Amino acid sequence: MERRRFLQRTAGAACAAATTGAVPAHVHVHVPKRHTVRVLGTHVTLQEPLRRRAEADLGIHLEFEPGGSAAVLHKATTRPESFDLYEQWSNSIDVLWQAGAIQPIETDRIANWSEVNGLTKTGRITPKANLGAGDAPCKLLNVQPDGTLGPEPTGRVSFLPYVHNVDSFAYNADVVPRGREYEEESWGWLLDERWHGRVALVNAPTIGLFDAALAVQAKGLVEFEDIGNMTRAEIDELFQVLVDLRRAGHFRGVWSSVPRSVELMARGETVVQSMFSPGVSAACGRGIPCVYAAPREGYRAWHGVMCLSSRTTGAVRDAAYEYVNWWLSGWPGAFIARQGYYISNPERSRPHLAPEEWDYWYRGLPAAHDLTGTDGKVSVRKGEVRSGGSYERRFENVAVWNTVMDHYEYTLVRWRDFLLA
Amino acid sequence: MTDPNENHVKPNRDRLSLRIHCGTAVVVVPFLVSIAIAATGFARFQQNVDRLTAASHFATRMADVERDAVEMRQHVVAYTHGGNAGDADAVTSLGNTLLEKVDGARADAPDDESRGRLDRMHDHLTTYLGSFQEVVRERRLREQLVRENVLEPAHDVTRRMNVLSDDGPAATGRSSVPDEFARRIGTYVSLAEARLLQFLSDPDARLVDEGLAALRLGIDEWSADHPDGDDPVLARMQELEHGFLRTVQATRAYLYLAHVVMAGEAAEFAFHTEELKRRAEDELVSIGTAAEDDGRQTAQIVLVVSLAAAAVGVLISLMISRTILRPIRAITETFNLLSRGEVVGSVPGLDRRDEIGEMARAADVFRSRNRETVALLDTTRRMTDELDGKARELEKRNEDLDSFAYVASHDLKSPLRGVACLAEWIAEDAADVLSEESREHLDMMRQRVDRMDQLLDDLLAYSRAGRTGEEDEVVDVRELLTAIRETIDWPADTRLHVDPSLPRVVTTPVELQRVLQNLLTNAVKYRSQDAPEVAVEARPVGDDFVEFSVADSGIGIAPEYHDSVFQMFRRLHTQDEIEGSGMGLALVKKIVETHGGTIRVESEEGRGATFFFTWPTGRPDGPLAESAGRPETSATPLLEPAPLA
């Protein structure tokens, strides 16, 4: 904001000088360079309204380069010089950190760091909440003195905690009978014989693998010692089940983008599948009674990370810090709340939301009236209740976090076996 | 009798022709429908053939795509394992070929669903090939990293450590590096190198951890032993660490691309290919089934429609027979009855409003006429019968009368002849004793007896007229006249003219002789004061008759008596004036009419009379023709003095 005001002031002064002729010709007016920050990430956060608003608020130039999760991760790990900020998921942190693609973020330079809630800092949204298997963000947040990532705060973090949510599977209520949240709805539905040939998974081993593992475990087919970090034998067992099911035609296939997931359900090719929140909203918007399940086994949670490229320095890094701070300034959190995502410092966004919006999105109360999304269209009908309930309740029921396991490479190989079975 | 106009109806209403046309249309339409159905069936068959060809072609394309896709994936697998550039080129080539085939198949896609799938296949393949290019880049990067940033620094460090351990501190100039330490550092580096190379062939994070841990241990120990930052061994080990990590990341990225992104795209590509193949095969089966169904259905429909058409045709025929032929037969029968003159009570179909009704009404007119005719015939027959009866009765009466007349005249003649004989005897025996007056009375009695005898002869002749019992013969009228002339008591001054061309006829000569004789007798009997002049002539009348004329110059007959002179006992003069029985002309008329002829008279009082009568020639070629063989007589009337006068 300071820069913005400065720019406004200097622009006004320059304009005044030009019109009045009061400034001598030999006097040079200093106009700060409008730095460009290149942001590599996914469509979840790299949205044009956010870019325009941030540019207007910060007076910087933003270049968004959205892409698929795998593609952007690959680019980030191999070409850190190609971006300044990286926006993706916490399960990419290990890879990025190990590759040296990102640098620590100084928490002192994050104005609202103290407002970041316990979910990221401690792993629990409430004291009674499940920590969740796998790499909870708190385990990856802090840069430890030895250069590793760990839970102990050090004033340096590997990522800015900001957007997060829980995922599960969705089902078409026209075909699949509705179940009660946290009681009947189960990951096991993904393997239900009744939906043979109409089941899909997300094509990402760090995500879809856990959907499949939760389903297999819910059906009692495989028991995992630690579902967040499976042994090689457990992986083999899991994929034996999955390969057999795929060969039997149980799975329609996999999807690699949200629009693909919506199309699968819209065309009736699937009735139960892994799904992301925007996909569920889009399907509902197309008239499909798409229900986002609240599985009794718990959610698969994910946490967005905003990382600073290891190659970004100087004024661009300063500009990047401004953008990082902007995300926790309130308005962006309110913006993404209307898309179903949570921000790590919710209270900062609350003033930017109508009470009815706050009640629906964060408190899990019925919508007092129709709520509009960020596109201006009605996204929530009056009386609707958010699947899974309030922010706290949803994050109290985390079964596993999206994680890059120790045998990640092996899961890639087996995942291929599954896909091409 | 029925008035035909009573049943007159509107001509265009319920016309039989309209019914026939409608019936024909009803019969023809099903056949046309049948033909149309057959044509439609053929068109659908042709469509099915076209669809079958297209579906077969499409299925072949899909099989070709699937085969190429499998081959491409095999090259991808080969490349990921061996890194052979030839495999990479093959993938690129096959991929581009596949794209062309997918796009080509899209042009032949049978429906939007298939086109949509092919579009998605195109997208999946594009992503797949793009990812493969990244795989190639990553693999090359990894090879470069391994070569330049892993093996080279690792070997350099190892070599340096070997030198240290072999040559001692002098080799590095540092006395603090013991041999054991150098070997340990070398071992760390070798272990890191070995684990990385193991990781490349069998990616496992534990190998990375072990390798990195060993390397970082070496770095830490070396750093502790060499606190100066500017150290070539440390720099090489740090370079090795960086290369190690970059190689690991490149491998992970390469694995992710190959095993997740590409495998995912390949799976979707294969799924859609399989789906399109299945759809094409289903389509083939469906088309085959549809073709069979269409053929069967068309055949059934054509059969049903044909049978229906036949049934309708039969029904129409029966209806036509019922509504047309049967009434026509009935009317025909009615006409037959009418033609036979039978009385028909009523004509069927009079109440119909069609052509049959018109026929019936026409027949009814005939029926009415026929009934009248029959009635008339009945009347005529009855009258004829009645007339025949009267004729027979009259003939009987005539016969009775003739018989009576014959009997009377014949039987009267005997006593009359006895009276005459007695009178003769009395005159002869008592001539002397009879007074003059008695003799006069006796003479008078003999005259009366003679007159009575003549009268009886005339009556007898009249009664026998036409029943002489003689056979017809050729009669030369002229010769007959000559014979007659001999029997007549001609006055001396009589002049007789005979037509020299008098014909010969075939007839009973006695009858013709009596006619001519009576007429000639009358000509001289009723003479005037002048010398009698008589002319006999003849002329043909038609082919069968000849008209004779007998003209005289006598006292004539007043016209008012021209008819009555032919009546029996009709006399214009008293007995005293002119003697006669009054039967002459009646007898002539009866004889002429008995022979089929006629008689008339032309006369004026005091100017003579001419009697004309016709007589049958007896031969069809006419009487005058017979004269040709006879010597011609003079055309001049023959005037001969009456030799008997």
- Residues A27 and A44 both lie in one domain: no
Is the pLDDT at A19 greater than 60? The verdict is no
Give the model confidence (pLDDT) of B148-197 as tens digits. Answer: 989 999 999 988 888 877 665 555 555 456 778 888 899 999 999 999 99
Chain A residues with CB under 8 Å of B271 CB are: 252-253
User: DSSP letters along B387-442, please?
Assistant: HHHHHHHHHHHHHHHHHHHHHHHHHHHHHHHHHHHHHHHHHHHSTTTS-HHHHHHH
* Residue B301 vs residues A97, B27, B29, B31, B310: alpha-carbon distances, Å: 77, 16, 14, 11, 14
Q: Six-digit token pair at A338? A: 């209307």
* Residue B337 vs residues A306, B3, B323, B345, B457: alpha-carbon distances, Å: 121, 20, 21, 11, 60
Q: Is the ipTM of this complex over 0.95?
A: no
What single-letter amino acid sits at B251?
A: T
- Select from A75, A78, A209, A230 the residue whose CB has the most chain B CBs within 10 Å, as the one to mutate to test that interface: A78
Percent of chain A scoring above 70 in pLDDT? 92
Is the pLDDT at B625 greater than 60? The verdict is no
Residue range of the domain that includes A248: 168-298+397-419
* Comparison of pLDDT for B330 and A227, the residue scoring more: A227
- Residues A285 and A235 both lie in one domain: yes
Local structure of A64: helix, strand or coil: strand
Q: Do A78 and B134 touch (CB under 8 A)?
A: no
Name, of A369-383, B367-381, B479-493, B617-631, the range with top average pLDDT. Answer: A369-383
pLDDT of residue A31: 52
- Select from B249, B271, B274 the residue whose CB has the most chain A CBs within 10 Å, as the one to mutate to test that interface: B249
Parallel, antiparallel or unpaired: strands A272-275 and A160-172: antiparallel
The answer to the question of residue A38 being in a domain is yes
- Residues A104 and A233 both lie in one domain: no
Q: How confident is the model at residue B229 (pLDDT cuts 50, 70, 90)?
A: low
Q: Do A256 and B205 touch (CB under 8 A)?
A: no
For the segment A158-172, the average pLDDT, to the nearest whole number, is 95
Long-range contacts from A276-281, C-beta under 8 angstroms, 24+ separation: A276/A167, A276/A202, A277/A165, A277/A167, A277/A339, A277/A340, A277/A341, A278/A44, A278/A339, A278/A340, A279/A170, A280/A170, A281/A339, A281/A340, A281/A373, A281/A379
Q: Do B203 and A409 touch (CB under 8 A)?
A: yes
* Comparison of pLDDT for A214 and B379, the residue scoring more: A214
What is the domain-level CATH number for residue A184?
A: 3.40.190.10
The answer to the question of residue A379 being in a domain is no
For residue A202, the cross-strand partners are A255
- Residues A150 and A179 both lie in one domain: no
- Residues A231 and A256 both lie in one domain: yes
Closest partner residue to A204 among B255, B260, B265, by Cβ? B260
CA dist B598 and B591 (Å) reads: 10
Closest partner residue to A408 among B205, B250, B263, by Cβ? B205
pLDDT of residue A166: 95
User: DSSP letters along A366-406, please?
Assistant: PPSS-EE-TTSSEEE-TT---TT-SHHHHHH-EEEE----T
Q: Do A100 and B271 touch (CB under 8 A)?
A: no
Best CA proximity match to A47, nearest among A28, A22, A65, A33? A65
Chain A residues with CB under 8 Å of B240 CB are: none
For residue B311, give how far its alpha carbon lies from the nearest alpha carbon of chain A (Å). 52
Residues of B with CB under 8 A from a CB of A: 73, 127, 134, 138, 141, 199, 203-206, 209, 242, 245-246, 248-253, 255-261, 263-268, 270-271
Is the pLDDT at B9 greater than 60? The verdict is no
Q: DSSP secondary-structure letter at A206? A: T
Q: Is A233 on the interface with B (CB under 8 A)?
A: no
Percent of chain B scoring above 90 in pLDDT? 19
Chain B residues with CB under 8 Å of A410 CB are: 203-204
Q: Is A91 on the interface with B (CB under 8 A)?
A: no
Q: How confident is the model at residue B300 (pLDDT cuts 50, 70, 90)?
A: confident
The answer to the question of residue A133 being in a domain is yes
User: DSSP letters along B176-214, please?
Assistant: T--HHHHHHHHHHHHHHHHHHHHHHHS--HHHHHHHHHH
* Comparison of pLDDT for A187 and B141, the residue scoring more: A187
* Residue B463 vs residues A233, A292, B278, B453, B509: alpha-carbon distances, Å: 166, 150, 132, 15, 18
- Residues A142 and A48 both lie in one domain: yes
The answer to the question of residue A340 being in a domain is no
For residue A232, give how far its alpha carbon lies from the nearest alpha carbon of chain B (Å). 10
Best CA proximity match to B642, nearest among B548, B553, B537, B534? B534
Local structure of B161: helix, strand or coil: helix
Residues of chain A numbered 190-219 and touching chain B (CB < 8 Å): 203-205
- Residues A107 and A178 both lie in one domain: no
pLDDT of residue A67: 85
Q: Is A252 on the interface with B (CB under 8 A)?
A: yes
Give the model confidence (pLDDT) of A269-290 as tens digits. Answer: 999 999 998 899 889 888 899 9
Closest partner residue to A419 among B204, B242, B267, by Cβ? B267
pLDDT of residue B141: 82
Is the pLDDT at B3 greater than 60? The verdict is no
Domains and CATH numbers, chain B: 137-253 (1.20.1440), 469-641 (3.30.565.10)
Q: Six-digit token pair at B359? A: 């026929």
Give the model confidence (pLDDT) of B388-404 as tens digits. Answer: 888 788 777 777 777 77
Is the pLDDT at A6 greater than 50? The verdict is no
The answer to the question of residue A202 being in a domain is yes
The answer to the question of residue A308 being in a domain is yes
- Residues A130 and A240 both lie in one domain: no
CB pairs under 8 A between A and B: 93
CA dist A249 and A196 (Å) reads: 7
Chain B residues with CB under 8 Å of A101 CB are: 249
Asked which of A210-224, A237-251, A380-394, B494-508 is least confident by mean pLDDT, the reply is B494-508
- Residues A291 and A215 both lie in one domain: yes
Name, of A112-116, B386-390, B589-593, B630-634, the range with top average pLDDT. Answer: A112-116
Q: Do B205 and A99 touch (CB under 8 A)?
A: no
- Residues A225 and A83 both lie in one domain: no
For residue A100, give how far its alpha carbon lies from the nearest alpha carbon of chain B (Å). 8
- Select from B259, B273, B275 the residue whose CB has the most chain A CBs within 10 Å, as the one to mutate to test that interface: B259
- Select from B200, B242, B260 the residue whose CB has the most chain A CBs within 10 Å, as the one to mutate to test that interface: B260
- Select from B73, B121, B244, B256 the residue whose CB has the most chain A CBs within 10 Å, as the one to mutate to test that interface: B256
Give the model confidence (pLDDT) of B115-124 as tens digits. Answer: 999 999 999 9
Chain B residues with CB under 8 Å of A405 CB are: 205
- Residues A283 and A188 both lie in one domain: yes
- Residues A140 and A188 both lie in one domain: no
Best CA proximity match to A383, nearest among A400, A396, A398, A365? A365
Is the pLDDT at A5 greater than 60? The verdict is no
pLDDT of residue B471: 81
The answer to the question of residue A367 being in a domain is no
For residue A401, give how far its alpha carbon lies from the nearest alpha carbon of chain B (Å). 19
Q: Do A416 and B263 touch (CB under 8 A)?
A: yes
Chain A residues with CB under 8 Å of B204 CB are: 407, 409-410
CA dist B216 and B230 (Å) reads: 18
Q: How confident is the model at residue A23 (pLDDT cuts 50, 70, 90)?
A: very low
What single-letter amino acid sits at B562?
A: H
The answer to the question of residue A346 being in a domain is no
**How many domains, in total, are found in chain A?**
3
Q: Is A419 on the interface with B (CB under 8 A)?
A: yes
pLDDT of residue A22: 38
* Comparison of pLDDT for B427 and A359, the residue scoring more: A359
* Comparison of pLDDT for B319 and A19, the residue scoring more: B319
Residue of A nearest to B255 (CA): A412
Residue of B nearest to A252 (CA): B271
pLDDT of residue A20: 36
Domain boundary residue among A277, A312, A328? Answer: A328
Parallel, antiparallel or unpaired: strands A299-309 and A272-275: unpaired
Burial class of residue A49, CB neighbours in 10 A (0-12, 13-18, 19+): exposed
Instruction: Please say whether the beta carbons of A217 and A396 come within 8 A.
Output: no
